Structure 1
Amino acid sequence: MSRSASVPSVRATRRRIGPTEGTEGAAVTDNAPGRPLRALVVTVVHHPQDSRIRHREIAALLDAGWQVTYLAPFSAHAVVVPAPEGGLTCVDLPRATGRERVGAARAARAQVRRLAPEHDVIVVHDPELLIATAGLRLDHLVWDVHEDPAGALAVKDWLPRPLRRPVAGAWRAAERLVERRHPLLLAEHAYADRFRREHVVVPNAVVIPRSVPAAGGARLIHVGNLTRARGSELMVEGARLAHAASAGEITLEVVGPARDEASRVAMEAGVAEGVVVWHGFQPAEQAMATIDGALAGLSLLRDLPNYRGSMPTKVVEYLAHGVPAITTPLPLARGIVAEADAGVVVPFDDPQAVADAALRLWRAPEQAAAMGERGRELVRERYDWAKGGAAFVEALTDVAGERSPRR
């Protein structure tokens, strides 16, 4: 009998762990009492300071007594590779971007091959890494599923349009092969429909500040990467209209890097007109602080397949900071905002609707503050990482106990 057939895995537990479930994760295995568990965490796509990877998942492992080796594209993002500290060791990798992905994949494969035997669990965050590590016989590899890669191909400019549909179909088939071999963690319950088995769900919960100022004033906020698909041009145009209608009072503050040329041009134009304050990338703690006391947070994602089954993390972050959200009507975002009456849902690709929503809140600051507080209460109940972190650690502890090469 093969190891995969004789040893139960997380995917075979037939359960989902949400942010309000789970217990404290153990820091040692039953087979080796007293020995810290070790995780190898790898990305070649995400920023090294990615909130889910670095500031929630890795932080939760370190708090639980794990040792973590973190492979990420530090230099490519102009980030100094941190010195080893507090159980965390960081290793630089090239960044996979556009069609320049082969070098990053090769570097990641070489590092994973070298380091895998020294770690109890490997957590990969990019679909590219599943291909890059194929054939290495990594039974203890876990795929943290952040998005719908097949759906995301619809907006990948680096992939020729005629190839997008067949490549997406091939990826759907590949996902089913991956789940036969590896445990998965899903960032959304809605992702479960893509797979044949049940997998652990660790949603994009957030760290909820103990106290925040009331929402209000005249400052709109957007925190996150900037792309056309994420509504970068729409948010600038909506802010421009609101700025004019408020006699220059309403402005837009943006924290996040431009990931395409159209977004860069839109942001720079907004800055030149005095409508936008653009900070670029900021570390997570600093970025989150800019949300406090804003009038509303913008989440203006377009109607694209990879967004339809996902909760935009920024919506939850805005609400966690007591700031109402102005969001396009993606199902999960619309649901949470409508349920708590915690913001305004606007049509896709409608800058005038964005401006009207901002103006309505600006003229009724008490309403904005009340919306933010209701949203904050709902997020505290459902999306608190203080609870989700324990579930994440428990899931990886299970994998280590069943599959670690160090047992």
Structure 2
Amino acid sequence: MALPGPHRALVVTVVHHPQDSRIRHREIAALLEAGWQVTYLAPFVGHDLPVPQATPALTCVDLPRAAGRTRLAAARAARAAVRRLAPEHDIVLVHDPELLAATAGLGVDHLVWDVHEDPAGALAVKDWLPAPLRRPVAAGWRRAERLVERHRPLLLAEHAYADRFSGRHAVVPNAVVVPATVPPAGGARLVHVGNLTTARGSEVMVEAARLAHAGSDGAITLEVVGPARDEASRAAMERGVAAGHVLWRGFLPAAEAMATIDGALAGLSLLRDLPNYRGSMPTKVVEYLAHGVPAITTPLPLAEEIIVEANAGAIVPFDDAEATAASALRLWRDPAEAAAMGLRGRDLVRGRYDWAKGGAAFVAELTRIAGERSPRR
């Protein structure tokens, strides 16, 4: 049944940064380009951002930020906002597992869960949850996922997530925007773009940068874009900055962050071997390759697969700063090979992970669900 006027989406997160690449710069951008009207509920103030002014197509609303054990206020505010706004939207797209519980009982049949990660696996690194509770809570979450599946449409960010569910669900991979042109990789600048945590290898990358800096007589440096999410990561970055081998730029808007990748020697993705990461493709690896820059990554299955297939970087052991530095030095000594690796990776990403293709499939799936479930039918 045709809907009156443009399609309308209510997009909600209390956990992710309002400028999250998947949410704001891929999914919402694709909806807007397709003529949808979007209301975006996110923790702008909690991330020290102003609430953007409304446009005819996009309205932004601030919600409290859910972080650590401070989550109840965010859940309550999100529940109240969804209760108020859901009836005027064709789709309610939520991005955080806790929003499923927060909106339970509201009768929002047009709510869609965008499954970004493995929440049960992620509990292994959640220091706000006492260690003895992590395993039973993870088991409970697995049961809750199966219950949610019976009542809600799902979008999966990885094909590997399908194993957690019994039904078939649309997969909207973490594809990236591939720039039309990029400079060749090379020089002496390593880059890392993304949140900084111990689990994401922040301390290892700073130590690797120190070793590569020393091994190149001070030529190689590391440019880091992203906020520190724990004190150990903040301290590591500050040590690297003080020593002169790290430039830490903090958070940057997506376009500026992506621009820092261009022309780098290599991009670092040093995620640890944790359950939450094993079934996921690290988005930053795909982003580096999309910009024609080789990736140095730990051997998580999907990351290793793409790098080996395209011969577009190096695989290093987990928590191994020496091997990471050695890989960087090899690329620095052979800039032609670094540039060639970047081109091979870019070709693979253009054919397999280009959001120009994924965006259309995402919009088509939400349009289909809206046609079946929208309260405005």
**TM-score by shorter chain over 0.5:** yes
Deviation, structure 1 residue 67? 0.2
* Residue 86 of structure 1: how far off its partner (Å): 4.3
Secondary structure in structure 2 of the residue aligned to 1:344: strand
Cross-structure match for 2:143: 173
CA offsets per residue over residues 324-367 of structure 1, 9 Å max, x none? 00000000000000000000000001100000000000000000
CA distance in 1, matches of 2:55, 2:175: 26
Q: Percent identity?
A: 79
Contact 2:3 2:371 in 1 (8 A): no
Q: What letter is aligned with 2:244?
A: G
Aligned partners of 2:316, 2:348: CA distance in 1, in Å?
A: 21
Q: Which residue of 1 aligns with 2:179?
A: 209
- 1:317 corresponds to which residue? 287
> Within 2, Cα distance between the matches of 1:255 and 1:348?
21
- State the shift of 1:85 in Å: 1.2
Distance 1:156 1:121 in 2: 30
Change (3 A) 1:56 1:86: farther
Q: From 20, 37, 60, give the equivalent of 1:50.
A: 20
Counterpart among 360, 364, 377 of residue 390 in structure 1 = 360
Which residue in 1 is equivalent to 2:318? 348
**Structure number with higher relative contact order (C-alpha < 8 Å, ≥ 6 residues apart):** 1
The CA deviation at 1:31 is: 2.5
Compared CA separation, residues 314 and 86, structure 1 to 2 (3 A): farther
Count of matched residue pairs: 377
Residues in 2 aligned to 1:240 and 1:193: alpha-carbon distance in whole angstroms: 40
The runs of 5 or more residues in structure 2 that have no matched partner are none
Could you tell me how far apart the structure 1 residues matched to 2:125 and 2:113 are? 22
Listed as ranges, the matches of 1:186-205 within 5 Å are: 186-205=156-175
Q: What do the CA deviations read for 1:186-212 (whole angstroms, capped 9, x no partner)?
A: 000000000000100000000000000
Aligned partners of 2:286, 2:335: CA distance in 1, in Å? 20
- Counterpart of 1:295? 265
Contact 1:326 1:346 in 2 (8 A): yes
Deviation at 1:137, TM superposition (A): 1.0
Q: TM-score, normalised by structure 1?
A: 0.92
Distance 2:162 2:367 in 1: 22
- 1:400 counterpart SS class: helix
Asked if residue 366 in structure 1 is aligned to residue 336 in structure 2, the reply is: yes
* Counterpart contact for 1:150–1:172, Cα < 8 Å: yes
> 1:139 & 1:384 partners in 2: Cα distance?
31
Q: Determine whether 1:142 maps to 2:96.
A: no
Measured on the aligned residues, the alpha-carbon RMSD in Å equals 0.6
Counterpart position of 2:6 = 36
Q: Say whether 1:120 aligns with 2:90.
A: yes
1:118-137 deviations in whole A, cap 9, x for unaligned? 00000000001001001111
Preserved contact between residue 219 and residue 252 of structure 1 (Cα < 8 Å):
yes
In 2, are the aligned partners of 1:38 and 1:68 still within 8 Å (CA)?
yes
TM alignment of 1:202-241, pairs within 5 A:
202-241=172-211
CA deviation profile, 1:362-381 (whole Å, cap 9, x unmatched): 00000000000000000000
Aligned partner of 2:245 in structure 1 is: 275
Contact 2:175 2:354 in 1 (8 A): yes
SS at match of 1:105: helix
**1:257 equivalent among 214, 227, 231:** 227
* Aligned equivalent of 1:99, options 60, 65, 69: 69
Kept in 2: contact 1:230–1:300 (CA 8 A): yes
Kindly indicate whether the alpha-carbon contact (under 8 Å) linking 1:83 and 1:89 is maintained by their aligned counterparts in 2.
Answer: yes
After TM superposition, the runs of 4+ consecutive aligned structure 1 residues lying more than 3 A away are none
In structure 2, how many angstroms separate the alpha carbons of the residues matched to 1:273 and 1:136? 54
Residue 111 (1) aligns with residue 81 (2) = yes
State how far apart, in whole Å, the 1-side matches of 2:245 and 2:79 are. Answer: 45
Identify which of 150, 156, 161 aligns with 2:131.
161
Aligned-pair CA distance for 1:294: 0.1
